[in-house]
Structure 1
């Protein structure tokens, strides 16, 4: 019997709709069109597998008085032996114990009592039914039942997304999301609120009334807003005696050369191992108020075919619109347990092939670099979870002309430095649990020598971004933390001339960017007059040999706890802040030659600086570094000339 011939018949599910985080009773009835011999397993999986990621809990076949009690019966007296599997998966395998098995057309009844629904809205959420016949591979039945997981319609908060910079009296727009406590949009919200401009707690200015109705689907965009006085602002929404604050807006009286744009460029849809349709993922990035974004499906052909990648490119063109939402093609190259790591590869042009890690001539970092070198300038390599032991990056093979950025933070944690050195968000593997079912986050799985700090110590010039490896797609870059999601996703910020593909690409190539664990904190970082991402030749600026002034200005939606100044991977200064903005300055009087590191691949001495920012609620942010370098080859050549 062919695999696709195994089917359910006369399928019914009740109820068809459930609300997030409710305890519900579920009933599934069906017939099978095939026989189940003795020692077969009939498997019901509610969580697990490539495209069934969620935080659904409470499913067990043992205690009728406990939540999630699950029982399987048939229209005939049949003996089953249940086996519960929890953790990364949540499923029950029912072993057929009848000597003669179960004949086709038998009717099965599965009942689950007080099972705890996942926190994420998901239409057509699958309850997978899998058959394991003796001596054969498992067969997932394609017409497995599904239900709609809807939001609870219980208001929790507004999320207000606005630009980080505006000119005096310049029109701008604001996006306002109505969300439940799990950050799902409340699509049937039908009430009013008030929007205010706030310069300080005592300076609130009423702007407009916000009228929501069900047609808005939980989100409205208001255009034509202006600020008439320079300064640092927030927008606030007032609703039923509650106040909800936006990220900071800085109003200036002259147009800046560069503005700040927010994006998210590492996530997955159903085209590999996510749970959202491709177009829904892009729509949700726009609904998240992002200025730019894309998805990065896995390079393996068994996950994402050539046809899938062509469809992705088509969607990118469809959703891309300069100055509104910018997108570009990317994918995730991955070879775990090899040291080659997971690397997201982004294309500026459409004529670059996908290099699949399963093909021999592309299956190492060294081979990959060789193939990509011909596309220098039109590709970007960004390494992902570099210090996570299963997918670590061996920094031996590296080309700075192709790889200019690193994902310092994602749902896998902070890859910057180790737990033993004080990293509060160390690389971890998955964990599970909700409320009283919660377990601690998964084990710390670090790989010595593969941290971002190790790459910087070698002399590699890497700017920082943060993001996700998001697989849920409900709110890309929103700080959702599904119970099997390790850490909340981060977000990246880019200083660019405008929100166009060419401008953003140029800014990324020059490391004019930074990352946070989620808060849209505005960060400026300078050494002398040089900005984050810059590389300064000491021969051109000899006065920096003995004195370097480092400055940072930070404006955060949450209180800043402290700022650490990092020089060559060491904390050389700490400033406690405990407020939502900071102007930081430090003068380094150490002589350049006394503090330098040596580049591992060329004759160069260097020093690098960046700020590590600790923000309340266990958040962090990192500026991209600034480097001060001295080329030893030039120095040697000059000495030879003088000797002659």
Structure 2
């Protein structure tokens, strides 16, 4: 943003709406237009199935009324913008106030909202706690969140007469960028939002109306939203490396137990969940039906967009007798599929999978998941350290770090086997970095919540999907896969928490030696204040930092436990309930380094 904004740098006067619009044209190359004009059921005879709310309503700005659309049954709302000028830049940005929320104090399925401009599908977006930039073709919807309210687990928000029993609500300014060629000079545009969900859900979007029409252009701080819409932001960084966030665990309806088509899953991940990389992991038994591995690889190739959206070829080796693990390949041209069952449905031992990978010489990372879940436990004796370099520490099933009933985000969709926890696996000598994934079955990867009514409350976490963050110099398939292989990665419960964690300056995932004291440093940045940070050594709490800022740093010194090898990792708690786990760092006492380290 310009340093002097919203004042004139020469006169020091508060810029008028017309001057701000002219400044946006010069500085950002876009024409800004008030996105709210005529509203109501008479708008071009367009059907409206939405709830009219009268205030005062909770927001970040005076809001006397609003229209709300939820996923409870083909709801939709349409309205007209103010007329666009006769002379426009190549892109026009409409600004309006909006809000989103979950609509309930407990978890419900996800969905998406489709926004049309003059009956052309421009953007698909979703509810979100924090600012987001949704893209589709030439269009962008930048949602600059000015206020977020989140209820503690087991509690609910009552923000106004219309927003009750709520667990999350966000309020902000939307900037919708569309090509000027879609618009008729001198005329308003027709905007329409249509809800879409595979399963009914109270999650909602709301168009908020200002007290006076002039408020939108004069009294709203719309510049950050317009700037976000007009130009993509720089890659995120943890202060040491670029950080990219992705979804690594999702299923479709193609002969599987997921939902929606392959293209719908890939499209949601890219355009609506807004992840940087995506691995679609349909079950191997579904792929066996008609030899449909090539369909998945075709989708991987078709959706890959180097530098913008990376796709990783993957599938799930779904053994109900040995445990579930996902298989991730570096190259779709060298991705040899192998199922956990024979054609006559006999179970195959995982050692045969690893032998198959050895024979083909493919670059592969294998990631076990939900190891403690009694429905589908993982047998750690079947793990292969050459390939099993990571473990999914959190998913829709909950957190698998431990199986302690009082552990955070443990999940209650199944009983647990405490002896199979990730902590016990690490203590047993397994060298495993951390990832998080949704295990999405609802067709909304990166924002999944659940598919079946009986498990919405118990199975799925109150904070939603997991995401994996990789530390990579660029957004390419090779760089993302290599970061996973090197364990230069960490997991979050869904939001973009930036984590840097080192021991003696070695980054997460490292195996190092040390002769004396170990210096442990961290830097954590979140979209909300951090609540606390745990430094874990050998599965036990070594140090705790109580926090209250969005960016926290710390340094600890540890002489070591006296064991031959110690492992350290970071556990992060945010004030909004979100969490992150940095991959461990293993430290061996000097003089005891084995040949393979």
TM tier, smaller: 0.5 to 0.7
SS at match of 1:622: strand
Question: Cα–Cα, structure 1 residues 392 and 120, in superposed 2: closer, same or farther, change >3 Å?
Answer: farther
1:417 aligns with 2:402: yes
CA separation in 1, counterparts of 2:257 and 2:97?
27
Residue 268 of structure 1, aligned match among 212, 229, 251: 251
Report deviation, 1:549: 1.1
State the partner residue of 1:363. 348
Residue 615 of structure 1, aligned match among 571, 574, 592: 574
Residue 478 of structure 1, aligned match among 447, 450, 453: 447
Kindly provide the CA deviation profile for residues 34-92 of structure 1, in whole angstroms up to 9, marking residues without a partner as x.
xxxxxxxxxxxxxxxxxxxxxxxxxxxxxxxxxxxxxxxxxxxxxxxxxxxxxxxxxxx
State the partner residue of 2:165. none
CA separation in 1, counterparts of 2:78 and 2:528?
25
Residue 74 of structure 2, aligned match among 118, 133, 150: 150
SS at match of 2:565: strand
Report deviation, 1:559: 2.3
Consecutive unaligned residues in structure 1, runs of 5 or more? 1-16, 23-117, 122-148, 156-175, 199-206, 220-236, 430-443, 539-543, 597-604, 637-644
Report deviation, 1:364: 2.2
How large is the RMSD of aligned CA atoms in angstroms? 4.3
CA separation in 2, counterparts of 1:427 and 1:621?
16
State the partner residue of 1:69. none
CA separation in 2, counterparts of 1:255 and 1:314?
34
Question: Cα–Cα, structure 1 residues 239 and 332, in superposed 2: closer, same or farther, change >3 Å?
Answer: farther
- Higher mean alpha-carbon deviation, 387-396 vs 484-493, is at 484-493
Question: Cα–Cα, structure 1 residues 423 and 467, in superposed 2: closer, same or farther, change >3 Å?
Answer: same
CA separation in 1, counterparts of 2:534 and 2:77?
42
Report deviation, 1:351: 3.5
State the partner residue of 1:278. 262
SS at match of 1:502: helix
Alignment of 1:454-465 (within 5 A): 454-465=424-435
Consecutive unaligned residues in structure 2, runs of 5 or more? 1-46, 53-68, 80-95, 103-109, 119-139, 147-172, 179-188, 196-206, 211-218
CA separation in 2, counterparts of 1:279 and 1:532?
34
1:595 aligns with 2:562: yes
CA contact (8 A) 1:385 1:427 kept: no
Question: Cα–Cα, structure 1 residues 332 and 251, in superposed 2: closer, same or farther, change >3 Å?
Answer: closer
Question: 1 or 2, which has the higher strand percentage?
Answer: 1
State the partner residue of 2:323. 341
State the partner residue of 1:11. none
- Aligned residue pairs total 417
Residue 499 of structure 1, aligned match among 475, 478, 499: 475
State the partner residue of 1:394. 379
CA separation in 2, counterparts of 1:308 and 1:527?
45
State the partner residue of 2:484. 508
Report deviation, 1:193: 9.8
CA separation in 2, counterparts of 1:381 and 1:254?
26
Give TM-score scaled by structure 2 length: 0.61
Report deviation, 1:258: 3.5
Question: Cα–Cα, structure 1 residues 489 and 194, in superposed 2: closer, same or farther, change >3 Å?
Answer: closer
* More relative contact order, 1 or 2 (CA 8 Å, 6+ apart): 2
Give TM-score scaled by structure 1 length: 0.57
CA contact (8 A) 1:355 1:362 kept: no
Kindly provide the CA deviation profile for residues 509-546 of structure 1, in whole angstroms up to 9, marking residues without a partner as x.
1011111111111111111211111111x2xxxxx333
1:403 aligns with 2:410: no
Alignment of 1:70-469 (within 5 A): 149-153=73-77, 180-182=100-102, 184-188=111-115, 210=176, 240=210, 258-271=241-254, 272-287=256-271, 288-301=273-286, 304-336=288-320, 338=321, 340-349=322-331, 350-359=333-342, 363-375=348-360, 378-420=363-405, 422-429=406-413, 444-469=414-439
State the partner residue of 1:629. 588
- Higher mean alpha-carbon deviation, 627-636 vs 272-281, is at 627-636
Question: Cα–Cα, structure 1 residues 559 and 20, in superposed 2: closer, same or farther, change >3 Å?
Answer: farther
Question: Cα–Cα, structure 1 residues 521 and 527, in superposed 2: closer, same or farther, change >3 Å?
Answer: same
Q: Greater CA radius of gyration, 1 or 2? A: 1
CA separation in 1, counterparts of 2:51 and 2:327?
37
CA separation in 2, counterparts of 1:391 and 1:120?
32
Report deviation, 1:294: 2.4
Report deviation, 1:454: 1.3
Report deviation, 1:353: 2.8
CA separation in 2, counterparts of 1:497 and 1:274?
33
- Higher mean alpha-carbon deviation, 362-371 vs 403-412, is at 362-371
